[in-house]
Structure 1
């Protein structure tokens, strides 16, 4: 019976680890190719989950891969030694490659799914492609396992003449039994597999941190060139109400939506100060009545109500004549003006939508702005009372 020496056992397992690293390296190299050439990587088994091999190789990724190679070595040696007790070193080492590849692949699958497990418990294992690396490892062992098997099956060196008598004596006494498995091999293999899980988790966390850092850096660059803070879909806030509470019943002659509409004007600016008119057009064939102050609100880039203080009265850019009952002729205009002081929009919640109604209690219409408006969170905006506008479109 052909025996399996410790030297051949180690040589077979080291070869298995070298083949494992080779396949992982080829897979990673294909993933770095530009364009569609990276799809060639699909021809190589995913011994390590693609999520861990994404992007440039970091320190933790190298540690994880080297740890995987060590685990393959120890697991292959353990399984080969167990199988060799029943003879057939070639088959035993081949089977050991399948088992070692599957076990180490499973460890990487667990590491890759760790973040999902933290969020969702064991259900997180059902997310993504858990088990792919374990299956790929088994396939790898099935394809290449014959090579470590040939090393394990290689004949032992011919003993020197001086050792011939001792070898014959061992043969006569039945001492040619298979080599015993070292007692430390099982715990060492178990520790190596656990280390693969830990290294994979750390590599995944490092990769996630690198992605987040890149995203944050890109957002900072965009923020430098963006008016106001970037939109944040997770930002807290409340939607803009469709109307403000009415202060009383509306006069039947009021400029209601079936008689009039609001038009947003163009902003005006002076050093450190801003102004913006809003006009009411009576498009009906009868006069309509308007009185007091309009109802105005502001929406930010997250479509939430912007915290702005509204004050009735004039400002540096506007003049308020006070509330009075006005009759707007058919085809005529009334005007109100917003006034505020300039503010820095950098990183701030800013006005992206203006909501307005002729008076509180009416449904608000809205304008999505096609220009930048530095009414930011915390601004104070003065609003003038409605006044007849005899010249809504003055010639320049």
Structure 2
């Protein structure tokens, strides 16, 4: 009875370790893959980013709240599963109990992955079509399952050591886990910042890479706007859910008049694209139609209060390139207007061709 009581208390140590690992490994994976310090396939296997990378650069307070709350959830669920394992454990099946506890960490992380997918689905509701309603789930759920499988042995081992040590549980173990994870994060961070850019010529001196270019707040060299046109302060820009079929993709940009004053949109929106760090990506955006939508050409769209106009972006499916994938679309109602930064984790990568239609009355 005494051993069971002490064993149950030690379940909190594996839970704390699971929460720390969840936070640290997600942050480390995002940092290492951002500048291609390590291959993304390697990071997805051994340092899976179960928290989507764009979460870390979303508006405050989500870069702190989303990873922190999900880490706390992983820790709490781990404690719960560990207690279930301890209740069923006997002296004869202690070895099996470690694997059961490991599976509990996997289950805890998958539940949190489902929660992350649910949140993304609610944020993007309604979907472009019902067929795509569950598209937000596979990524975080699969990554969370891999995370639990690769790293769940650590909390499970801490549980075994805690039961074996009784009241002499090595309390420095959680601190050691914290030190290892965040020391590795700091070391790799400094190393990646000091690594020279590959030159392409093995025998030549290293060539330094110029600093990343932030997304410009407005298009340069644009003509003066018509006074009747909608100003960025009059309209609200938003993105719909990505739609796809037969290797083609579509995304709708919507402009809604949020004031009581009528205004006009005439022509094409202004677009720029950024990566997870809000650095400008060289995407070839072309005015015109695509497989996803025909472009009727510029037409005057008058927006009364509450009315909307839309432009449809279309592109072909792109190869997986996490380091150069679009996470932000900076949009303005017309070139020269101040751009609004909109989160959009889509499979557009640097060098892709994207067509976009002129503004049309929505509906």
Verify same fold: TM over 0.5.
no
TM range (shorter): 0.3 to 0.5
TM-score where L is the length of structure 2: 0.44
Tell me which structure has the larger Cα radius of gyration: 1
